[in-house]
Amino acid sequence: MYYTKPIVALALVAAASSCIKDEPLNTECDILTAEMPGIELVDAPVITNTGVEFTVRYDQPGPEFAPVFTVTEGATINPVSGTERDFTDPQVYTVTSQDGKWTKEYTVRVKRQTRPEDPEVSVTYGFEDVYTQTTIGRTYDVFFEENAAGEEEWAWASANSAFALTLQGKVPEDFPTYQADGGVEGKCAVLVTRATGSFGASVNKPMAAGSLFTGNFDVTNALAKPLEATHFGRGHIMGMVPISFSGFYKFKAGETYCELGDNGKLVPVPGKTDMFNLYAVLFEATADMQWLNGENVLSETNPNIISWALIPDRHESDEWVEFSVPFVYRPGKSIDKQKMQDGRYRLAIVMSSSENGDYFSGAIGSTLQVDELTIVCKREKTEEE
């Protein structure tokens, strides 16, 4: 069985927020958790530095919802948590720090899962859309996908916000993950393994692999438990089963492969060459496993994984390499039609410029370019049909 270690990007700080100031206490103004009491969701709420996104089942009431939030200690939120609002359009919430000096606005969106009737659907990610975000004066790209109305539907996750704290980058092209010209069609995503400088070395994290994935990066857990900081997976299309994963990549390994030594420094490994990661995993979300993470995303013993699509012949190339691989079911696993109808399956798409980046091992300069990723799905009839 083909197997590679999952990626986890650099985690350097317990929190990264646009409202961090010099005052050490009572200045934070963040949304920490979000829930929708009484409403069935098909995905865990996604919380970023500027917004919150809920995805509700196709058969739930609405558009009026009353989301509940917890914020940093002493902070307040306006409107107050639990207020019912009309989410036909995104709604803005303002969090104010305990000392009253700092505020942050969050845009909260509620999506409704759709149930397609087509027998086969393909979804392509071309990495054409980004917005920039700034953390302590460092600006980086955030990739996002649009809905039919041309609005942001959801954002890809990376650890760019954590890398900003190393002070190694000022503009998007300095970061491990950014957008560039020269894609198969239009733009593409570029992932580069970077050195993290003296700050990264001081916390035994001397490199950061470029990463991009569906899900959320939990920066609050990044320093203590980096393998758990990556939350892989998003709600999948109602009634659709992924059957293949395809796309294009280029890859060039960095000059010197290194592993993390006992002293926290990089140790060269003669004769070893870096390799990238790029794969997709279908899994069941349960109460004790809402998402996959760096410890279990490719685990042979993870009972929640249904199938995965892995590239067996990854290699270096200066030209675009086209790949197409099937989703292979794990032994003893199959699609449960009732669980499918209930929206309990989620899909993780994960990519990294260094496959062992979760252990802070790889080659500085390893570069992966990715474009036109496509998931092809077929419709499975439900028990009702």
SS3 86: strand
Per-residue pLDDT of the chain (385 residues; tens, 9 = 90+): 344 444 444 444 344 444 444 546 678 899 999 999 999 887 788 888 888 999 888 788 889 999 999 999 999 999 999 999 999 889 999 999 998 989 999 999 998 876 656 567 888 999 999 999 988 889 999 999 987 667 788 899 998 988 988 888 899 999 999 999 999 999 999 999 999 988 887 888 888 999 999 998 877 766 667 777 889 998 876 668 899 999 999 999 999 999 988 887 899 999 999 999 999 999 999 999 999 998 899 999 999 999 999 999 999 999 999 999 999 999 999 998 888 877 889 999 999 999 999 888 999 999 999 999 999 998 765 545 4
DSSP 330: P
* All residues at 6 or more sequence positions from 221 whose CB lies less than 8 Å from its CB, including other chains: 11, 14, 228, 229
Q: Letter for the amino acid at 223?
A: L
Ordered structural domains, the chain, with CATH: 114-379 (2.60.120.890)
Tokens 């009484």 belong to 38
Cis peptide upstream of residue 79 (ω within 30 degrees of 0): yes
Write out the H or E segment, with its range, that includes residue 377.
strand 367-379
Give how far the C-alpha of residue 356 lies from the chain's centroid of Cα atoms, to the nearest Å.
17
State the pTM of this model: 0.74
SS3 275: coil
Query: Rounded to an integer, what distance in angstroms lies between the CA atom of residue 78 and that of residue 95?
Result: 6
